[in-house]
Amino acid sequence: MSSSSSDVLLPVDSSIKPPVFLHLGDTEPLSGVCVLDVTLPFGKTVNVEEISFKNHYTASVSMRLLRTGPPSQWVTAVRDLPLMENPHTEGGSQDYCCIHRTQVDPDHVISVRLILKQPSSTWRSFSLDDIRILPHKQQDPEKEVSDWLSDLTLADQHTDLEGLPPPQSVSSSLQQMFALTEVMMQSNETTASIGRFHVDGCYDINLLSLL
């Protein structure tokens, strides 16, 4: 299931396997427990900001996270979070829900497993829809200051200048030549053409429309 983009954060591309209903022995799969695995893109770990989904008649949900770092292990993030007040009634059966970063320990996650429970026999099929995992964005300091700008502050460093012409005067000459070239190029932009290669009428709009 591919994710659609939201305004601020893009959900991580995740594939959600079809729910697996658990059952004991040979009985019909009506145990009221199903497991949803959400696999994240291969090879990448995600720092989860939040997980949002739409309920569909699930009474409660547990979430387990597979985290990296030797050894990779499953950690229970959320245990039996109730989604419906009363499993037999409608209340909360189609709510939108969101599990936040602060409620869980969500860094370096490879895989997410959601265990859905619906003990009521009223609702035989239940699941979670539209599961989105939003990654945590690090606040990178904006790198406005480029390398060349920070180089300017190194002016105090004296390179070995023996036998070389004084850089100050050479630089000032170069700056003047640079400025002169820029003046010429600005004049370039505003120049009309002499129309050497224009033939009257060949660029008429009505001619072009016949093509």
> What residue ranges bind another protein (CB under 8 A)?
146, 148-149, 151-152, 154-155, 157, 159-161, 163-171, 173-178, 180-185, 187-188, 190-198, 200
Quote the CA–CA distance of 71 and 69 in Å, as a whole number: 5
CB of 143 to another protein, least distance (A): 13
Q: Which two tokens stand for residue 91?
A: 């209340």
Q: From the CB of 186, what's the least distance to another protein, in Å?
A: 10
Token pair belonging to 148: 């060349």
Cβ burial, residue 112 (10 Å; 0-12/13-18/19+) = buried
Question: 27 vs 190, which CB is nearer to another protein?
Answer: 190
What single DSSP character describes residue 46?
A: B
The Cα–Cα gap between 200 and 205 comes to 12
Shortest CB 172 distance to another protein, Å: 8
Cβ proximity to another protein: between 28 and 142 the closer is 142
Q: Smaller CB distance to another protein: residue 28 or 160?
A: 160
Closest approach of Cβ 91 to another protein, in Å? Answer: 47
Start-to-end CA distance of the chain, whole Å, equals 46
